[in-house]
Chain A
Amino acid sequence: MAELFQFELVSPERQLLSEQVSEVVVPGTEGEFGVLKDHALFMSTITPGILKVRREGDSWDEYFVRGGFADVAAGGLTVLAEQAVPVGEISREQLDQAIKNAEEDVADAKDDATKQRAENTLAQLKDVVEALSKA
């Protein structure tokens, strides 16, 4: 049985989760990473994707997150996301809106680096949407 640690998922509008969990998989900008208890201090920005949470036992909960960062501190993991919705509750319109915003970002990008980043985000987002619509 994996040990538990404190996990918080916060969006600007409310705190979605604050509880003891055994494992969290976060979609980081430079790749997905899993967090277990006593993870080294770590901070990463996140890309649009699915955040997976494992509570006691083997059931996984999935959340769609977009824009923000994950902060692994001594006390546990905090994910601040601009948007965070349980996968079951997400609607088609919300995803379409997110894609539209990302496309605008690509169009608005002024230098190559920003553009590259925006394009990555858009591609990522499309993957996620595809994966979700299959499920």
Chain B
Amino acid sequence: MPSLKDLRNRIASVKATQKITKAMQMVAAAKLRRAQEAAEAARPYAERMDAVLANLAVAFEGRDDAPKLMSGTGSDQVHLLVVATAERGLCGGFNTNIAKLAREKARSLIADGKTVKILCVGKKGYDALKRELGQYVLKTVDLRSVKYVGFTDADEIGRDILGMFDNGEFDVCTLFYAKFKSVIAQEPTAQQLIPASFEVEENTGNNGAQPVYEYEPDEGEILADLLPRNISVQVFRALLENAASEQGARMSAMDNATRNAGEMIDKLTISYNRQRQAQITTELIEIISGAEAL
């Protein structure tokens, strides 16, 4: 049975923790709004890019001279997994979920006899993967010093990936991140970057009546120019989604923690009061029985 003093100390300590989690929740809420705005502002660019590429891709479907970034290298022996996570913890299952998805994929690839290489963006992903898959991790990109993800950060990662692809270091590249659905729901997602896959829009009704575009330089060169850019754009989009998801996950995790701390304080206060009363009663009994004995 803890003494009164112990209980008092525990209540004080839980209260301090609650203050911290509460503050973190509010900070996350403020950051979430910014992250969400950034993600929304980036959407038009990515959408236009998708539309144009899908248009161009149709023209190259099945052709031999299609760029390798689109058609692939013709093999799927070496896989590069880009795992984008947060730099900080204390955000619920956010990092764990992404890492879990990546780990399962890596396991099944290894079981199929494929070679796996991993590029971690964010320290927490590396921490989660290093025990089992540490030998496959090529490097970790540290975005710790970056406060708000800019396109240049994504571009660097994109160039990295492209450089490795050009050197023939992998055949298929998959990007792992968490899609932001709402504050309480973030969906870990695996997206194939290379070879690029496009959702070709079915424009029913005006098939065959595709407007005739003039290209300068020709389609092939435009496609060759755009595909590498598209990698950076996709990475950028993933990083922004991730940033919003991270703050959302942290917000709900900290909300939970604050509530749990509140419950704990209530419980501790009750047992503190009970014990205090019991002590008073004991003291009274001692005094009365002492008086009676006289």
**What is the interface of chain A, defined by CB distance below 8 A to chain B?**
8, 10-15, 28-30, 40-45, 67-69, 71, 73-74, 78, 80, 82-83, 110
Contact = CB atoms under 8 A, between A and B. Distances in A.
B222 A43 contact: yes
Nearest to B211: A41
A57 to B, nearest CB: 27
A80 B49 contact: yes
A14 B42 contact: yes
Contacts, number: 75
B211 A13 contact: no
B56 to A, nearest CB: 9
A128 B215 CA distance: 25
Given A12-B45, A43-B216, A69 B226 contact: yes
A14 B46 CA distance: 11
B89 interface: no
For the complex of A and B, the 7 pairs showing the least CB-CB separation, nearest first, are A14-B41, A44-B216, A12-B151, A10-B45, A42-B214, A41-B213, A12-B45
B209 interface: no
22 contacts: A10-B44, A12-B151, A12-B233, A13-B38, A13-B151, A14-B41, A14-B42, A15-B45, A28-B216, A30-B217, A41-B212, A41-B213, A43-B214, A43-B216, A43-B222, A44-B216, A44-B217, A45-B221, A71-B52, A78-B48, A82-B155, A82-B232
Given A12-B45, A68-B229, A42 B216 contact: yes
B32 to A, nearest CB: 18
B150 interface: yes
A45 B233 contact: no
B45 A80 contact: yes
Contacts of A10: 44-45, 48
A43 B215 contact: yes
